[in-house]
């Protein structure tokens, strides 16, 4: 979008307002970029919108310097700091909020501007919060959860009375999650209080800009979208084994390549090593620590379950150059500014183009520099994904982020938040809530259901006072609304308040939409806190057991309430905590590029050795494996769907390769298993990965015959949800999903400090409510939400439907093989992983490979 510059007195006035900003840029030796000036002009013109440019291009100063210039103009006119909170900056991470504060304070300190910047999050002391309430800083940086807590205060209206604008940093991280919906609802309330409020979002990696912008600014105003023709270079180099034969290694076996990784790392080069899960981060940190004892003190671990002080010490060590290598997770994905970092290592596929770009941006974090990414595969077939990522990056495409559709648990929490604070006036609030993008289609019936549920407990819980959270109070005539939405007529002269102070206290303690398993604090006996692990993991240990956490070997001394006391030990262990929600699946965009890459390999082998289609280092390294696949089976073309069948001593196997990602394959695998068993009863086991799925049946099961006779039925979308219900037991999946919904909505809560419920107690409470609603209130909107989330998010039914449609248009290639092919081998390993220890799995895979090689000989 090209900036337009007004002329005349208005333009002169804006130039005068922006003069201090221009002066600071000149002081730094910088020249503002066109997109930055465009943002400043848009802010001063009273507009709202979204700015998207690559990481490290200066988008933070694009968003905040316009508001700062306005504040400075007011300060010059009055001679004092502007009174009250004027600019609110929302960030998804506490670590990011600290860096943002430093970035904003840098020009303020350098130029002596009379402005204060405050920080409000879960780490802010009670004394600092009190000071902020008494004398709000002009600029406040906070998180969605802390913003909700501010709205739950009785003086919220006074605290935000002077607010002029909001900047949402890293909007791509919030959009598409319930935290994004929570942010939208908070902003809808702020915009109702301050109709001229300007709202700006900052992003680096969103494909659907129009929708993202509308979600950020609301439905009641047109957004301005600002981009720039800046292409930040990303150089990817894959670490390749010396040889890749026809049997790819799988999953965690990538640890066996640690020597290759160590050989590629340089002790003097500041490097972030990203893994996709905390469990992987712990294992790789342990591996590198043993492999490189000379890096002791310069090698660190960083993930969200470590104690805050430990994380901050690592971040400071990286910035000061003392720590050279950090094994980390998404805890360092976002805009934390590590200028010294020169290289990023991605261990295992990032699974999303946007995630790879985000992580790559942590290196060479400055305009005009090229990000250096070293890719460490944990599966030979992941090299195909990296080759596909190269093409996607060249095409300049990234994934779309879709906002949730009216999550009722988030809405219920928000309404109680308002009732705890300024009060909930339905006649006013409904219009504001419908201005939030995620809730723009909220029906009158759903709104009345929410009010009834919070006031009376709904259809099933009215007899229990603990579920009647709100009570009415009549508004004075002057406060009663005039133009009232139809759904709010019944409560036009009403304000809802929280019924009891104890309910308000519990609600404030449970605000938020992140619902992991209950965390147990891990600390040294009579010593410092180390971090937090899930209750499910620590509950399986007994005193004397040893586990590896935070880069240490720890022995459990005792478990007291929700604290695990430990001591350091030299005893060996392979136990590492696992956290829920660790698996990632290929995005739909990357799946599309992956299928194109597979088809490219097919054409290359058909062209022969002179083909130029194997044009990336990854494809060249995979050539022996690809040739073995073509010899034993085939490589599917762009219009082909490969299904392999074979028999081993384990039984009859079917391997199918849609290349659509783990979650789609999970639904597809169970769907096929049900449809097979409906025609030919038998016990079928399902294993999935990002490339396909395996069905294992008893020996003699006629997979080939059934595929040929049921091909149309297997790919049909008729009665899809009914078949999935029978195949997967959707009810149990919905029950698990309902646990999180019940916690967000406030149906089940942790108790006050010192009186908290265990994870088991919370699960039992949620399960009982789920059963009650299923029997007596099947139209309960929270129950419906659980059903929709399972289908839409967990099984990705929309993708499953489109996949079945795509496969119906493909030529189904049924190929009998004498043994599992190279594409099948990782699926076989996936299934064995769930049945064996690491050592026995290695032995078993080794035997399978040896048998296959003997048969070929």
* Residue 10 binned pLDDT confidence (cut-offs 50, 70, 90): confident
Output the pLDDT for position 435. Answer: 97
CB 511 within 8 A of CB 429: no
Q: Tell which residue, 677, 681, 635, 672, has the closest CA to residue 654.
A: 672
Q: What is the pLDDT of residue 856?
A: 53
Q: What is the 3-state secondary structure (H, E, C) of 595-624?
A: HHHHHHHHHHHHHCCCCCCCCCHHHHHHHH
Q: Is the pLDDT of residue 249 over 60?
A: no
- Percent of the chain at pLDDT > 90 equals 60
**C-beta neighbour count of 312 within 10 angstroms:** 16
Specify the pLDDT at position 42.
96
Angle 652-657-663 from CA coordinates, rounded to 5°: 100
Give the pLDDT confidence score for residue 757 in this predicted structure.
54
Decide if 383 contacts 621 (C-beta within 8 A): yes
User: pLDDT at residue 614 above 70?
Assistant: yes
Better-predicted residue by pLDDT, 835 or 101: 101
Measured on CA atoms in the order 511, 516, 520, 523, is the torsion positive or negative?
negative
pLDDT band for position 601 (cuts 50, 70, 90): very high
| pLDDT over threshold 60, residue 85 | yes
Tell which wins on pLDDT, 683 or 249.
683
pLDDT at position 844 over 90: no
| C-alpha span between 231 and 104 (Å, rounded) | 25
Dist CA 644 CA 781 (whole Å)? 43
Q: What is the pLDDT of residue 339?
A: 66
Are 238 and 347 contacting, i.e. CB atoms less than 8 angstroms apart?
Answer: no
Evaluate if residue 369 carries a pLDDT over 80: no
The total number of residues shown for the chain amounts to 857
Cβ 146 vs Cβ 90: under 8 Å: no
- Write down the mean pLDDT value for the chain: 87
Q: What pLDDT band is residue 778 in, cutting at 50, 70 and 90?
A: very high
**With bands split at pLDDT 50, 70 and 90, how would you rate the model's confidence at 4?**
very low
**pLDDT-derived band at 94, boundaries 50, 70, 90:** confident
The residues pairing with 343 across neighbouring beta strands, listed in sequence order, are 271
Q: In whole angstroms, give the CA distance from residue 17 to residue 34.
A: 17
Q: What is the pLDDT of residue 344?
A: 92
pLDDT digits (tens, 9 = 90+) for 159-170: 999 999 999 999
Closest CA to 841 of 183, 83, 252: 252
Of the pLDDT bands very low, low, confident and very high (cuts 50, 70, 90), residue 837 is: very low
What are the tens digits of pLDDT across the range 673-728?
999 999 999 999 999 999 999 999 999 999 999 999 999 999 999 999 899 988 88
367 vs 665, higher pLDDT: 665
Going by DSSP bridges, is the β-strand pair 811-816/640-648 parallel, antiparallel, or unpaired? Answer: parallel
């Amino acid at each position: 979008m090209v900036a337009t510059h007004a002329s005349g007195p208005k333009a002169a006035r804006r130039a005068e307002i922006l003069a201090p900003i221009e002066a600071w840029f000149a002081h730094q030796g910088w020249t503002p970029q066109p997109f930055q000036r465009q943002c400043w002009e848009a802010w001063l013109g009273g507009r709202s919108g979204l700015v998207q440019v690559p990481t490290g291009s200066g988008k933070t100063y694009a968003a905040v310097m316009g508001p700062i210039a306005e504040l400075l103009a007011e300060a010059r006119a009055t001679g004092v700091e502007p009174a009250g909170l004027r600019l609110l900056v929302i960030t998804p991470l506490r670590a990011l909020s600290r860096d943002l504060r430093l970035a904003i304070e840098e020009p303020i300190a350098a130029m002596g501007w009379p402005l204060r910047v405050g920080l409000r999050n879960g780490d802010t002391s009670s004394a600092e919060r009190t000071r902020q309430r008494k004398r709000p800083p002009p600029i406040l940086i906070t998180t969605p959860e802390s913003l909700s807590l501010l709205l739950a205060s009785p003086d919220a209206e006074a605290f935000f009375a002077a607010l002029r604008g909001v900047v949402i940093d890293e909007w791509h991280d919030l959009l598409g999650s319930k935290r994004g919906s929570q942010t939208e609802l908070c902003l809808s309330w702020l915009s109702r209080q301050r109709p001229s409020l300007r709202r700006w979002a900052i992003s680096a990696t969103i494909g659907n800009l129009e929708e993202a912008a509308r979600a950020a600014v609301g439905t009641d105003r047109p957004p301005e979208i600002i981009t720039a023709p800046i292409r930040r270079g990303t150089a990817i180099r894959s670490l390749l084994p010396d040889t890749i034969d026809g049997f790819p290694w799988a999953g965690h076996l990538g640890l066996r390549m640690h020597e290759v990784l160590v050989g590629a790392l340089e002790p003097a080069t500041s490097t972030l090593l990203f893994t996709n899960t905390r469990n992987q981060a712990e294992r790789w940190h342990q591996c590198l620590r043993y492999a490189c004892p000379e890096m002791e003190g310069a090698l660190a671990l960083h993930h969200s379950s470590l104690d805050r002080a430990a994380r901050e010490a690592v971040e400071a060590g990286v910035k000061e150059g003392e720590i050279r290598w950090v094994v980390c997770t998404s805890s360092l994905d976002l805009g934390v500014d590590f200028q010294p970092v020169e290289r990023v290592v991605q261990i295992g596929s990032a699974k999303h183009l946007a995630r790879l770009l985000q992580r790559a941006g942590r290196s060479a974090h400055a305009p005009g520099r090229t990000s250096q990414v070293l890719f460490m595969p944990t599966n030979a077939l992941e090299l195909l994904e990296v080759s596909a990522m190269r093409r996607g990056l060249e095409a300049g495409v990234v994934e779309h982020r879709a906002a949730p559709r009216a999550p009722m648990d988030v809405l219920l929490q928000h309404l109680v938040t308002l009732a705890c604070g300024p009060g909930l006036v339905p006649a006013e609030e409904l219009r504001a809530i419908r201005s939030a993008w995620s809730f723009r289609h909220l029906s009158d019936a759903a709104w009345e259901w929410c009010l009834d549920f919070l006031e009376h407990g709904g259809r099933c819980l009215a007899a229990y006072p603990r579920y009647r959270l709100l009570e009415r109070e009549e508004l004075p005539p002057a406060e009663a609304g005039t133009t009232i939405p139809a759904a709010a007529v019944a409560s036009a002269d009403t304000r809802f308040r929280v019924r009891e102070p104890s309910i308000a206290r519990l609600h404030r303690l449970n605000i938020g939409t992140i619902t992991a398993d209950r965390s147990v604090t891990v600390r040294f006996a009579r010593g410092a806190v180390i971090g937090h692990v899930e209750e499910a993991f620590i509950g399986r240990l007994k005193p004397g057991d040893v586990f590896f956490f935070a880069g240490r070997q720890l022995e459990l001394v005792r478990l007291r309430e929700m604290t695990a006391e430990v001591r350091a030990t030299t005893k060996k262990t392979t136990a590492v905590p696992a956290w829920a929600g660790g698996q990632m699946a290929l995005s739909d965009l990357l799946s599309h590029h992956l299928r194109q890459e597979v088809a490219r390999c097919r054409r290359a082998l058909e062209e022969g050795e002179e083909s130029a289609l194997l044009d990336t280092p990854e494809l060249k390294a995979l050539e022996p494996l690809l040739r073995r696949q073509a010899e034993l089976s085939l490589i599917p073309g762009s219009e082909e769907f490969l299904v392999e069948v074979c028999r081993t001593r384990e039984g009859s196997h079917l391997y199918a390769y849609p290349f659509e990602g783990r979650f789609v394959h999970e639904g597809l695998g169970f769907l096929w298993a049900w449809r097979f068993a409906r025609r030919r009863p038998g016990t079928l086991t399902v294993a999935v990965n990002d490339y396909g799925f395996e069905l294992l049946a008893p020996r003699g099961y006629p997979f080939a015959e059934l595929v040929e006779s049921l091909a149309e039925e297997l790919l049909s979308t008729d009665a899809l949800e009914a078949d999935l219900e029978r195949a997967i037991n959707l009810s149990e999946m919905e029950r698990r999903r309902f646990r999180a919904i019940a916690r967000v909505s406030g149906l089940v809560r942790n108790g006050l400090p010192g009186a908290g419920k265990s994870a088991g107690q919370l699960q039992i409470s949620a399960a009982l409510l789920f059963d009650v609603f299923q029997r007596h209130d099947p139209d309960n909107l929270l129950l419906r939400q659980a059903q929709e989330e399972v289908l839409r998010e967990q099984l990705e039914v929309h993708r499953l439907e489109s996949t079945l449609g795509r496969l119906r248009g493909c030529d189904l290639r049924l190929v009998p093989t004498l043994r599992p092919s190279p594409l099948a081998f990782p699926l076989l390993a996936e299934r064995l992983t769930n049945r064996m220890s690491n050592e026995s799995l290695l032995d078993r895979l080794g035997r399978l490979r040896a048998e296959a090689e003997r048969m070929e000989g």
